[in-house]
Amino acid sequence: MTTTGAETPRSPANASIEDVARRAGVSSGTVSRALRGLPNVSETTRARVIAAATELNYTVSPSASSLASGRMSTIGVITPFVSRWFFAQAINGVEEVLHEANFDLVLYIDEDGKTFQSLPMRRKVDGVLLLTLPSDSPDVSGVRNLGVPVGSLHVDIEGFSSVLIDDVGGSSMATDHLLALGHRRIAMVTLDQHPSVPFRTGQDRSEGYLRSLKAAGIEVDPLLIVNGESTVEGGMRAGSELLSRAPRPTAIFVQSDEMAMGVLYIIRRAGLHCPEDISVVGFDDHELSNVFDLTTVAQPARAQGALLAHHVLDQVRLGSAPQTTTLKTHLVIRGTTAPPPSGI
């Protein structure tokens, strides 16, 4: 049987990025940028590349894309914890932004600041995000030597993008609220401090508490400052310890909502009432804080991770300069704070 007319070209069994480039009449680098939604590709060219890729049944190969663009489309995230509320929220914010940008996330859990020494990321990532690691952590000098954009959460480090909140001001806000209600014997439950890595967050929140007491002319009682190990269970232990003090505090500032929930449980188990017998203020605005009716200092945890990811992606994709942004906190007054009991 004889047929007439032009024969429809067949797609290669395993079309490559070069096949798409030839079909669209562009370079393989342009194909990579167009299919991954990156800038510096006109809409006309992008449409032509997409049409060619569709005709050839081509899907983006991560390895080919990295060769064409000079990037791995991967961001490394170094975090001391993943199970604690703040870090989980921040990582979720990072992941959402990277997913939208077609970048992968590689997570490194680092409790001692030395992950880089055992898990070098050279040639594996296009950028690195450090979640609350101190500026003198060994990992900081390690990632600086990578020569890729770096972002730092909660710590301002020269040459890195950063997203910050005013932890000192936030804790002062909480302590000032208790002082304004008439409390004078105000305890504090602190975030855990790793023996080898002095994380700044707990230090800054302690500083705000101490500043407010000093400004009010109140002498600091070391027995009213207890470590809560950054967990609900740690908050329970800290709460038990504080309730054993004589006289016991009339108010407690707790450096995280998770620990505050443990403190509230202990207060109730001791047969006391909050805020009638003792007031409690947390820090975070955890999604369960409203359930506990907890007065707290609210910080936008997920938004911090998302914004830091945006800053570093701008450096990776657009060559932008490092950016520093400070986000605001605010006091959310609920039902766990009131004036101290009469006569105290």
Higher pLDDT, 233 or 20: 233
Q: Does residue 67 carry a pLDDT above 50?
A: no
Indicate where the chain has its CATH 3.40.50.2300 domain(s): 74-165+301-329, 167-299
Percent of the chain with pLDDT over 90: 63
pLDDT of 128 reads 93
In the chain, the amino acid numbered 337 is T
Mean pLDDT within 167-177? 98
Instruction: Name residue 14's amino acid.
Output: N
Picking from 8, 23, 73, the residue whose alpha carbon sits closest to that of residue 53 is 23
- In the chain, CATH 1.10.260.40 covers 17-69
Query: What mean pLDDT, rounded, does the chain reach?
Result: 87
Report the run of H or E that residue 285 belongs to, with start and end. none
The whole-angstrom distance between residue 47's C-alpha and the CA centroid of its chain comes to: 36
CA distances (Å), origin 332, targets 207, 267, 286? 21, 21, 11
Statement: residue 60 has pLDDT above 70: no
CATH architecture assigned to 167-299: 3-Layer(aba) Sandwich (3.40)
What pLDDT score does 29 carry?
A: 78
What confidence category does residue 7 fall into, taking pLDDT thresholds of 50, 70 and 90?
very low
Residues 204-250: pLDDT tens digits?
999 999 999 999 999 999 999 999 999 999 999 999 999 999 999 99
Tell me if the pTM is above 0.85.
no
Highest mean pLDDT among 3-12, 13-22, 128-137, 212-221: 212-221
Phi-psi region of 245 (alpha: psi -120 to 50; beta: other; left: phi over 0): beta
> What is the C-alpha separation between 67 and 72, in angstroms, rounded?
8
Taking CA atoms, 28 is separated from 69, 204, 209, in Å, by 9, 50, 58
The most confident of 25-34, 317-326, 335-344, by mean pLDDT = 317-326
SS3 state of residue 250? coil
Query: Tokens 């203020």 sit at which residue?
Result: 281
Q: Would you say domain 17-69 falls under CATH 1.10.260.40?
A: yes
Query: Distance of alpha carbon 311 from its chain centroid, rounded?
Result: 13
Comparing C-alpha atoms, which of 214, 238, 219, 215 is closest to residue 228? Answer: 238
Phi, psi of 51 (to 5 degrees): -65, -45
Q: Which residues pair with 150 in a beta bridge?
A: 128
Fold of 74-165+301-329: Rossmann fold (3.40.50)
Phi, psi of 152 (to 5 degrees): -125, 130
pLDDT tens readout for residues 78-108: 998 888 999 999 999 999 999 999 999 998 8
Distance in angstroms (rounded) separating the CA atoms of residues 22 and 33: 15
Q: Is the pLDDT of residue 121 over 60?
A: no
Instruction: Name the band, by pLDDT with cuts 50, 70 and 90, for residue 70.
Output: low
At 116 the pLDDT is 59
Place of tokens 């108010």: 251
pLDDT score, position 31: 81
**pLDDT-based confidence at 9, cuts 50/70/90?**
very low
| 101-105, 160-164, 173-177, 288-292: least confident range | 101-105
Residue 280, pLDDT above cutoff 70 = yes
Residue-level pLDDT at 288: 96
Distance CA 300, CA 298 (A): 7
Residue 312 near residue 78 (C-beta atoms within 8 A): no
